[in-house]
Amino acid sequence: MLTVATWNVLHRVHAENWDSDVLDRWPEESARIAAVTARVAGLAERVVALQEVSGDQLASLHSALPASRSIRTLDYPRVPTPRRIPTRLADRSEHLVLLVDGPAEVVAAEAFADDPGKGLLAVRTAGLLVVATHVSTGPRRPGQLARLARVVAEAPERTAVLLGDFNADRTTVTAELGPGFAVAELPPAAPPTRPRETGAPKSQWIDHVVVHGIGGRGAVVDDVAGLSDHNPVRAEVG
């Protein structure tokens, strides 16, 4: 079995542009970055996917994590632009990140053709294809999920785990990825992966561990008490 986790850690510029509640809880971004890094460093899972990683957050992870943990990144061509207030970030770049205990061979790293701020990062580790992703909302989602399915189909292993923010509920993700994919089921009492006071209830469970050719079990959601606007999801696959 391989232990995995996924977490959208919230890029500061996105929080500022959308006036996120996280800004009130964490007015100093340097303190929040340190707390996110500490939380990530404390995860025992062998593979961790992170979305919306700012340049400042990535630098913090590089400084804090041991050399035994591989850090693989997709550097998005889009750099988030402040639209409401000046940002507190020194490095506004945005990254999709995979942290892997042990070696990790990058198989694919690409922004989606229709969204330069969303994409996929695939690595081969422990005989398994691991794909981190952040998928767009709305009409772009089906094509992006189809691209993810092709990446898995083209891999010689044909066994894979997809980790990320899919911006869609479990039923939608399963249907649009197609046959052979399954989303690890969360306990009925699990906290939302994307807590919010408005919107449809299904929109609060949009971060998933998806498997292909293997099983997934023990999925849980950790409540991070507003450290990000998303909560981490952890599971076992294999």
What residues have CB less than 8 Å from 224, skipping those under 6 apart?
Answer: 39, 231, 232
Q: Report the pLDDT averaged over residues 114-130.
A: 97
Task: Give the separation between CA 234 and CA 33, rounded to whole angstroms.
Answer: 21
Alpha-carbon distance values, 26 to 35, 45, 66, 129 (Å): 10, 26, 26, 36
Q: What pLDDT score does 169 carry?
A: 96
Q: What pLDDT score does 198 carry?
A: 67
- Asked if 104 and 70 count as a contact pair (C-beta separation under 8 A), the reply is yes
Task: Give the separation between CA 230 and CA 20, rounded to whole angstroms.
Answer: 11
Q: Which CATH superfamily is domain 2-237 in?
A: Endonuclease/exonuclease/phosphatase (3.60.10.10)
For the chain, the domains span: 2-237
**Residues 53-105: tens digit of each pLDDT:** 999 999 999 999 999 999 999 999 999 999 999 998 999 999 999 999 999 99
* Number of Cα atoms under 13 Å in the Cβ half of residue 104: 26
SS3 81: coil
Q: What pLDDT score does 136 carry?
A: 98
Q: Kind and range of the H or E element at 160?
A: strand 160-165
Q: Could you tell me the two tokens for 74? A: 């997709």
- Asked if 9 and 224 count as a contact pair (C-beta separation under 8 A), the reply is no
- Name the average pLDDT for the chain: 96
Residue 125 CA to its chain's centroid (Å): 18
Q: What pLDDT score does 199 carry?
A: 61
Q: What pLDDT score does 103 carry?
A: 92
The alpha-helical segments, DSSP class H, found in the chain are 12-17, 22-25, 29-41, 55-64, 141-154, 170-177
pTM above 0.85, yes or no: yes
- Asked if 133 and 125 count as a contact pair (C-beta separation under 8 A), the reply is no
Cα dihedral value 99, 221, 44, 168, nearest 10: -20
**Residue 203 scores a pLDDT above 90:** no
**Residue 107 scores a pLDDT above 90:** yes
**Residues 134-175: tens digit of each pLDDT:** 999 999 999 999 999 999 999 998 899 999 999 999 999 999
Alpha-carbon distance values, 70 to 94, 173, 211 (Å): 18, 28, 22
- Asked if 13 and 81 count as a contact pair (C-beta separation under 8 A), the reply is yes
- Asked if 165 and 51 count as a contact pair (C-beta separation under 8 A), the reply is yes
